[in-house]
Amino acid sequence: MFGNFVRQHEIDFLYLQVVMQPKFEKLRGYTAYTNIGTKRRGTAILAREHLPLTRTVSLPSGRGIVASFHGV
């Protein structure tokens, strides 16, 4: 259901919080950048495969993740 929603709305970037077990890592056409903390909860960014993110930085707690896209 989640995968259908993402593809139907043609989402380029999706930012998620309170991620527990990222089953979306295998979502076809997207790359998942995840940060699962010590309490098994975290954050994630989904990006279309042709829109690669760089300089990904994660907080050890899992409560934050940042990345760059073409310098932004």
pLDDT in single tens digits along all 72 residues of the chain: 888 898 899 999 999 988 886 676 678 889 989 898 888 889 999 999 999 899 999 998 889 999 999 988
- What is the predicted pLDDT for the residue at 11? 93
**Residue type present at position 20:** M
* Number of independent structural domains in the chain: 1
- What is the predicted pLDDT for the residue at 71? 84
Supply the Cα-derived Rg of the chain in whole angstroms: 12
Which residue segment(s) compose the domain that 58 sits in?
2-68
Q: Which of 4, 2, 1, 7 is nearest to 48 (CA)?
A: 7
